[in-house]
Amino acid sequence: MTRYSSIDLHCHSTVSDGIYTPSALASLAYQNGVKVWSLTDHDEVGGQQEAQQAASDLGIRYITGIEISVTWLGKTLHMVGLNYDIHHTALLEGLQRLREDRVARAHKMASLLTSFGLEGAFEGALALAGNPDLLSRTHFARYMVNQGFCHHLQEAFDIYLGDGKKAYVAGAWATLEQAINWVIGAGGIAVIAHPGRYKYSEMEFAVLFDQFKSLGGQAIEVVTGSHRPEQYQQYADVAKRYGFLASCGSDFHGVDPKKMMLGCVPDIDFGLTPVWHTFL
């Protein structure tokens, strides 16, 4: 029988591309037995104070979180920051630049989707996001499913929105060095999010992990809702090889019922040092 962790350090709210408010996520985390929780919205800290207050009211230990969009070797990579100062100026200024680019990127994606026969994509995605600065591919995917243009979210990504697909537009994201410096400068810990999702070669991954460590990165996600179960051991081995701390999280958005539920993260049990040992 699967043993679940009481720690979930990766999920998303309506402040980025999730469908639950930060307070609602705190309640869901509490219901599912979470004791230590972090909200990691994309490039946005706007939900942190609400999440922290709601968690405190429920007796959950809250850890500040963020998921930063990075471009590395021409592809999008995500880096989680944990236990940082949400008021740190350099971090906030960097995140603002990333959000401003989302608007221009969204218009380009909408134009491409129009050429494939989907009308009103920008307006439809914006209605779901609520704020143009927060527009993401997930909002477009949800609109595509709502309109019957795709049957499910994964189809939208597999055909149109995934890296290199028909309507993909690269973002002007942070460099790996910038993202790490923002998080470390704010007193936090830099974590490579769901490494199993990236389409790098074995040699490219080796360079990524070496560079990440040399720049001050300390951890990778091992057990995550964005990994297949057979990948847990694979990235546990990576953590051991490079001396990384191990993080875990559901990557819950609330959009796809087939994905891992908040608070239903299998235990990390690979002889690794958990990232939360640095701040608990």
121 shares its domain with 193: no
135 shares its domain with 244: no
257: in domain: yes
Tens of pLDDT along the chain (280 residues) come to: 567 899 999 999 999 999 999 999 999 999 999 999 999 999 999 999 999 999 999 999 999 999 999 999 988 999 999 999 999 999 999 999 998 888 888 999 999 999 999 999 999 999 998 888 888 899 999 999 999 999 999 999 999 998 889 999 988 899 999 999 999 999 999 999 999 999 999 999 999 999 999 999 999 999 999 999 999 999 999 999 999 999 999 999 998 888 999 999 999 878 999 999 999 8
Is residue 270 within 8 Å of residue 246, measured between CB atoms? Answer: yes
70: in domain: yes
245 shares its domain with 114: no
206: in domain: yes
In the chain, alpha helices (H): 22-31, 48-58, 89-115, 121-129, 137-146, 153-156, 176-185, 202-214, 229-242
What does the alpha-carbon distance between residue 180 and residue 80 come to, in Å, rounded to a whole number? 9
259: in domain: yes
131 shares its domain with 33: no
123: in domain: yes
In this structure, what are the phi and psi dihedrals at residue 264, rounded to the nearest 5 degrees? -110, 45
What does the alpha-carbon distance between residue 199 and residue 137 come to, in Å, rounded to a whole number? 18
Q: Determine the 3-state secondary structure of 220 from DSSP.
A: strand
Range of the domain at 134: 101-161
CATH code of 148's domain: 1.10.150.650
In this structure, what are the phi and psi dihedrals at residue 125, rounded to the nearest 5 degrees? -65, -40
182 shares its domain with 254: yes
